[in-house]
Every structure is written in structure tokens, then in C-alpha cells.
């Protein structure tokens, strides 16, 4: 895996999302945010997430989609159940994944974070293929950017968001991420929020 000068990953399929903009000048990327998403909810393998992130979702296609009308969101990365990796926003740009959020007193986490969506839900275990790709992606990002912390969406938007949810195995993730010779960019990364 390799990231180019604007933060495009060579092993990901790139599908450009218009839902992004410039990060504030001089902002370092300090945070990774882990999410889960599936559209329709709890249905995997369809094009709903791609349609949402590219503003092409058909509000008539599913009752739930009516609640998504006009929503302008994105994430940098989306890891499907089979490990297929899609990138929607170059890492150097600000994706719109966190919403109203706060990490250790810093608001607007989109400014300084990279968002990774796992295809899944709060009630379904994630697949081995997803963990493998997530771990390799995390290692790649941490070597490139001064990441200091990896948090769940629920950690930066408590009470409002629940993902990646109780089925995400923070222990497994942290153990496997730390197995490599990592984190050259920042020296130290903490993973999870009062979970480990
Ligand atoms: Zn989320």
C-alpha cells in the first residue's frame, strides 16, 4: 500500500465524492475515526453507500433512504465485507464523516482526521478480510501522517453516534496494529477510548 502526494492510495478503487473540501491551512492529520455503515441498514453488498457518498441515492429506492435526502456526507475510505477497499476523498482533503464532534477538547474532527467506514452494523461481527485491510491501511496511514489517536465515531460524538459499535473488536485491532514496526510519523498512537 502506498499513498501518493495528495493522499490517494494505490490499492484502493477511487470513486470521487463531491462531499469534501480543503482542510484549514496548516492542519496536521492527528486522528483516525472508525465507523460502520450499511445501506439499507443491515444489508450488505449493495451500492447504497457509494450512492450516498456521491449524492446519487434514490430516495424512493428504500423507505429508509427518505431520511437521507439532502445529506452531504463522505468518508475517506470504505472497507467492504470482502475486504474490497474504496476511497472517496484524498487524505489531504477534508471528508465529511464526523459531524458535530469533539476529540480531547478539539471540535470539528473532520478538520484533522481521516474517516474509515467499515461495511457493517452495530449488531454484526466484522469479517477477517475487513480487519486485515483495516490493519494494513492503519499502518500505512500512521507511517505517512502524524496520527496520535484512533477513535470510534461514538467516542467523538457520544450520545449521537454508536458506531463502530460493540461488535468492533478493539482489542484485536490494537494488538494486530501494534504487531508491526509502526507509527514512525508520530512516535506513539493510542487506540480506542478507555476500552483497552
Ligand atoms: Zn460514523
Range of the domain at 91: 13-191
The string of pLDDT tens digits covering residues 126-179 is: 999 999 999 999 999 999 999 989 999 999 999 999 999 999 999 999 888 877
- Supply the pLDDT for residue 175: 85
Question: What sign results for the dihedral spanned by CA atoms 174, 126, 108, 143?
Answer: positive
DSSP at 9: B
CA distances from 138 to 39, 42, 168 (A): 24, 25, 15
- Supply the pLDDT for residue 151: 95
Residue 152 C-alpha to ligand 1 middle, in angstroms? 8
Active site residues: 117
Domain count, the chain: 1
Report the pLDDT averaged over residues 59-85.
96
Beta carbons within 8 Å of 5's beta carbon, 6+ residues apart: none
The string of pLDDT tens digits covering residues 12-37 is: 999 999 999 999 999 999 999 999 99
Residue 164 C-alpha to ligand 1 middle, in angstroms? 7
Report the pLDDT averaged over residues 46-65.
96
CATH code of the domain covering residue 62: 3.40.80.10
In angstroms, rounded to a whole number, what is the distance separating the alpha carbons of residues 175 and 192? Answer: 12
CB 132 within 8 A of CB 169: no
- pLDDT value at 195 more than 70: no
In angstroms, rounded to a whole number, what is the distance separating the alpha carbons of residues 57 and 66? Answer: 10
Residue 189 C-alpha to ligand 1 middle, in angstroms? 21
Asked, for residue 102, whether it belongs to a domain, the answer is yes
Asked, for residue 85, whether it belongs to a domain, the answer is yes
Asked, for residue 3, whether it belongs to a domain, the answer is no
Asked, for residue 8, whether it belongs to a domain, the answer is no
- pLDDT value at 184 more than 50: no
- pLDDT value at 193 more than 90: no
Amino acid at each position: 500500500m502506498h499513498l501518493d502526494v495528495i493522499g490517494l492510495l494505490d490499492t484502493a478503487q477511487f470513486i470521487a465524492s463531491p462531499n469534501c473540501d480543503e482542510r484549514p491551512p496548516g492542519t496536521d492529520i492527528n486522528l483516525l475515526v472508525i465507523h460502520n455503515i450499511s445501506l439499507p441498514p443491515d444489508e450488505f453488498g449493495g451500492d447504497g453507500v457509494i450512492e450516498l457518498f456521491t449524492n446519487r441515492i434514490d430516495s424512493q429506492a428504500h423507505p429508509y433512504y427518505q431520511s437521507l435526502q439532502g445529506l452531504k456526507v463522505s468518508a475517506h475510505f470504505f472497507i467492504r465485507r470482502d475486504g474490497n477497499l474504496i476511497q472517496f476523498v484524498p487524505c489531504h482533503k477534508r471528508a465529511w464523516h464526523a459531524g458535530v464532534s469533539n476529540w480531547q477538547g478539539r471540535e470539528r474532527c473532520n478538520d484533522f482526521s481521516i474517516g474509515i467506514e467499515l461495511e457493517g452494523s452495530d449488531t454484526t461481527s466484522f469479517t477477517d478480510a475487513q480487519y486485515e485491510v483495516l490493519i494494513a491501511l492503519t499502518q500505512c496511514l500512521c507511517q505517512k501522517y502524524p496520527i496520535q489517536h484512533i477513535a470510534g465515531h461514538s467516542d467523538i460524538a457520544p450520545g449521537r453516534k454508536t458506531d463502530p459499535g460493540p461488535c468492533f473488536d478493539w482489542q484485536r485491532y490494537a494488538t494486530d496494529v501494534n504487531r508491526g514496526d509502526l507509527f514512525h510519523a508520530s512516535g506513539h498512537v493510542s487506540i480506542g477510548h478507555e476500552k483497552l
